[in-house]
Amino acid sequence: MFHGYLPMILDGLRVTLSVALVSLAVACIFGLMGASAKLSASPVLRGIAGAYTTVIRALPDLLLMLIVFYGGQILLNRVAAARGWDYIDINAFLAGTITLGFVFGAYLTETFRGAILAIPRGQIEAGHAMGLTRGQVMRDIVIPQMVRHAIPGFTNNWLVMLKATALVSIIGLDDMVHRASLASAATREPFTFYALIGAIYLAVTTLSILALGALERRVSRGVRPEATA
């Protein structure tokens, strides 16, 4: 049915998933930094974080990806030329994951900020009053509850980012979409292969929803269901 191209497509899925997972880790780092900056007392940090989330969310992902990919290349080689190094070819995997992580870090900033703000301030003050250190308050009071509040937004961002990984094929990464276009060209059956990867994306989405739903139920155990309306 797939003229023997199925293993090649599935290998592309491996690339797609690695891009998605590495980008997610990068996005979590940017998101946590952004959320702490937005909630910090320093107006400079708040300003930088505000500009970061506003500008990133005002531009298409693809444009940002092209800017990081080409701009990073030029910048890196200017540095390299100044130091007398050889020409550096920026790795598409690196460019793709850094861009996706940077872009979705802006969205996660808002998710994490909201999750931290959802924790009653009194609990943190009570923790300090009981003599807990800042680290203990963070580890035992803030983070466990923050995870619970952040999961719905986190799930949403993960699903959007998973789909956005399809764009890395445009900057030349050999992901599932690129494999599908190769197989389409070779077999002259583009519908078959694009529909196949569409179905694979849908399966990964479905599994993610189920897994993160189970995680949400797990971290919410012991929480009374909120009264509706």
Partner 1 sequence: MIDWTIVRDMLPAFWNGLLMTLLLLVSSAIAGLALAVPLAVARSARSRWARWPVFGFTYVIRGTPLLVQLFIIYYGLPQFGVIRNSALWPVLRDPWFCAWLAFTLNTTAYTTEIFAGAIRTTPSGEIEAARAMGLSRAQVFRDVFWPGAWRRALPQYGNEIVQLMHATALASTVTIVEILRVGRDVYTNYLKIPESFGMAAVFYLVLTLVLTGLFRALERHYLRHLDPRASITPRPDPVKEPAHA
3-class DSSP state for residue 226? coil
Residue number, 110 or 216, with CB nearest to partner 1: 110
**Shortest separation between residue 194's beta carbon and partner 1, angstroms:** 4
Residue number, 16 or 145, with CB nearest to partner 1: 16
Residue number, 87 or 191, with CB nearest to partner 1: 191
**Closest C-alpha among 147, 144, 139 to residue 112:** 147
Say if CB 55 and CB 94 are below 8 A apart: no
Measured between its terminal Cα atoms, the distance across the chain in Å is 52
Residue number, 88 or 126, with CB nearest to partner 1: 88
**Closest C-alpha among 109, 222, 217, 104 to residue 167:** 104
Binding site for partner 1 (CB under 8 A): 55, 58-63, 66-67, 70-71, 74, 159, 163-167, 169-170, 177, 180-181, 184, 188-192, 194-195, 197-198, 201-202, 205-206, 229
**Shortest separation between residue 196's beta carbon and partner 1, angstroms:** 10
**Shortest separation between residue 193's beta carbon and partner 1, angstroms:** 8
DSSP symbols for 189-213: -HHHHHHHHHHHHHHHHHHHHHHHH
**Shortest separation between residue 175's beta carbon and partner 1, angstroms:** 11
